[in-house]
Structure 1
Amino acid sequence: MCFVCGRDNPIGLRLTFYVEDGRIRTNFTPRPEHQGWPGILHGGIASTILDETVGRTAFLVDMWAVTGRFTIHYHHPVPIGQELTAIGEIVRVRGRVLEARGEIRLADGTVAVEAEGTYIRLSDEKRRELEAQLDLR
């Protein structure tokens, strides 16, 4: 019942992620219920989308991980009703720690939001437990 990717979550974003050129990517068109200021995507929603996108880069190296640290930089307002693209890529992997970055691009290619995160590998036992519970796409 993930808020970001859960297909059965009635209030969720229901995003679909895919791999392109060794990076994680998703497209999303914010709706009016996602706004903070009128006509502008709420920063918390932008942060949530990027945390999920950047965090999913762990799957590229067969790792399940949780967020250890996440830093976000807002460069431009993100308009409601315009298709956005979120992209995440690995910076490096050191033992149980994955460092990755990502961005949200506007329809014209402008980078509106950037983020960096550190993600910590889950144990194999916890991974098996979550795989049995989650429907990740």
Structure 2
Amino acid sequence: MSVQVPWSVLPDYRCFGCSPHNPHGLRLAFHPRPDGLLARFTLDRGFESYPGVVHGGLVGVICDETIGNLIVLERHKPAFTVSMRTRFVTPLLVGREYRCVATLRADGEELFHGSAEVLDADGGVCATASAVYQPFALDQVRHQLTLDDAEVDLLSRAINPTAINPR
């Protein structure tokens, strides 16, 4: 069963990684795991670099999306990526199914640290990523995200449904 990401409360969100509304995007769906979050994906030739090989930058996008959504789902705070290091073990091939598994390190509230592995159908590691994220308050970055007051409120409640007054 897939998890609904908080951004889906915005009727026309266009995230390249996870929005079903972006016809050019990856349309990742996320599934909970006891230790983190999982995204299964298969990319076609529209996402290749060398013939038959998935572009490495997209591997980074998939890891970043999976870790970033894990942060917002588990920690109830959105966060910008500060740095990310990706290690490629073997090329990903177009037309094959892979899965990305993200986990978070238990740490303080100032920065979040996450990691991800991209695995092939046999469980072999194809790529790994480690990243650092800076949490932010939606109302403080709304001008960068082009959100109006109603969208900030709606998204804040979706991100942290237990907050009495998210602003």
Q: Give the alignment's TM-score, normalised by structure 1.
A: 0.89
Q: Name the aligned partner's letter for residue 48 of structure 1.
A: V
The yes-or-no answer on 1:129 pairing with 2:152 is: yes
Per the TM alignment, residue 33 of structure 1 is displaced from its structure 2 partner at its CA by 0.8
1:116 is aligned to 130
Provide the C-alpha distance between the structure 2 equivalents of 1:10 and 1:19, rounded to a whole number of angstroms. 25
The yes-or-no answer on 1:8 pairing with 2:28 is: no
* Structure 1 unaligned residues grouped into runs of 5+: none
Q: Which of 71-80 and 51-60 deviates more?
A: 51-60
Query: Aligned residues, how many?
Result: 135
* Structure 2 unaligned residues grouped into runs of 5+: 1-13, 142-150, 160-167
2:4 is aligned to none
Residue 98 (structure 1) aligned to one of 103, 112, 135: 112
- Root-mean-square deviation (CA), in Å? 2.2
Could you say which structure has the higher helix fraction? 2
Could you say which structure has the higher strand fraction? 1
Residue 56 (structure 1) aligned to one of 65, 69, 78: 69
Larger Rg belongs to: 2
The yes-or-no answer on 1:46 pairing with 2:59 is: yes
The yes-or-no answer on 1:69 pairing with 2:92 is: no
After the TM superposition, list the runs of 4 or more consecutive aligned residues in structure 1 that deviate by more than 6 angstroms. Answer: none
Distance 1:60-1:132 versus aligned 2 partners, 3 A rule: closer
Q: Which of 70-79 and 115-124 deviates more?
A: 115-124
Local SS of the residue matching 2:20: coil
Local SS of the residue matching 1:93: coil
Distance 1:126-1:15 versus aligned 2 partners, 3 A rule: farther
2:98 is aligned to 84
Provide the C-alpha distance between the structure 2 equivalents of 1:106 and 1:28, rounded to a whole number of angstroms. 10
Local SS of the residue matching 1:81: coil
Would the aligned equivalents of 1:19 and 1:25 in 2 still touch at CA under 8 Å?
yes
Local SS of the residue matching 2:52: coil
Q: Name the aligned partner's letter for residue 136 of structure 2.
A: L
Residue 28 (structure 1) aligned to one of 16, 38, 41: 41
Per the TM alignment, residue 130 of structure 1 is displaced from its structure 2 partner at its CA by 8.3
Provide the C-alpha distance between the structure 2 equivalents of 1:48 and 1:5, rounded to a whole number of angstroms. 10
Q: Which of 18-27 and 42-51 deviates more?
A: 18-27
Of structures 1 and 2, the one scoring higher in RCO (CA 8 A, sep 6+) is 1
